[in-house]
Amino acid sequence: MKSIWAPWRIEYIRTEKRQGCFLCDKPGQDNDAANYILYRGKKNFVIMNSFPYNPGHLLVVPYRHIASPEEMTAEERHEHFDIVSRSIKVLKSVFNPGGFNIGINMGKIAGAGVDDHIHTHIVPRWQGDTNFMPVISNARVVPEAIAATYQKLKGKF
């Protein structure tokens, strides 16, 4: 039997699964560090993905609960993609990745975990970051704790 040491996962396992939209709830709370919120704009915010593909996996999210880009106002859309660009700049300066995957999954069939609140994923990538684990063991290894990544990115926006 194969074992992968990931002690931070126990928090997710033990956490009571809430109803509602965490992308709406978290910015309403007054604890950005606990919620891994890195930046708050007028219409959008940046939050770290709690279950990242790689260190520095960010989400850019409108405050309004909307499902697709055509529902965004011009102001929301402009700020959203300005923050995507700013996020790339921050991640380049802190982590120096070799590239990025940037995308929006619209609808469950497209892989959206939250299909009714649009958000843009920004995933930094490095040569060899996928290694053999996903292919051989159907497992992904994220080599840095989320709290450590948050501390590196906090205040950079």
Name the least confident of 31-35, 76-80, 105-109, 136-140: 136-140
Name the least confident of 22-26, 107-111, 149-153: 107-111
Task: Confirm whether 11 is domain-assigned.
Answer: no
At residue 117, does pLDDT exceed 80?
Answer: yes
- When the pLDDT of each residue in the chain is averaged and rounded to a whole number, the result is 87
pLDDT confidence tier of residue 144, bands split at 50, 70 and 90: confident
Domain boundaries, position 126: 20-153
Task: Confirm whether 8 is domain-assigned.
Answer: no
Task: Confirm whether 60 is domain-assigned.
Answer: yes
What's the total number of domains in the chain? 1
Q: Which two tokens stand for residue 130?
A: 């996928």
Task: Confirm whether 1 is domain-assigned.
Answer: no
pTM: 0.83
Please report how the helices 74-95 and 146-153 are oriented relative to each other, as an axis angle in degrees rounded to 10. Answer: 100
H helices of 29-145, where? Answer: 32-35, 74-95, 133-137
Task: Confirm whether 33 is domain-assigned.
Answer: yes
- The domain that contains 81 carries what CATH number? 3.30.428.10
Distance of alpha carbon 157 from alpha carbon 153, whole angstroms:
8
Full DSSP string of 1-63:
------TTHHHHHHSPPPSS-HHHHHHHSS-HHHHTEEEE-SSEEEEE-SS-SSTT-EEEEES
Task: Confirm whether 2 is domain-assigned.
Answer: no
Task: Confirm whether 78 is domain-assigned.
Answer: yes
pLDDT digits (tens, 9 = 90+) for 54-97: 999 999 999 999 999 999 999 999 999 999 999 999 999 999 99
At residue 8, does pLDDT exceed 90?
Answer: no
Task: Confirm whether 12 is domain-assigned.
Answer: no
pLDDT confidence tier of residue 121, bands split at 50, 70 and 90: very high
pLDDT confidence tier of residue 4, bands split at 50, 70 and 90: low
pLDDT confidence tier of residue 136, bands split at 50, 70 and 90: very low
* Cβ–Cβ under 8 Å, residues 51 and 142: no
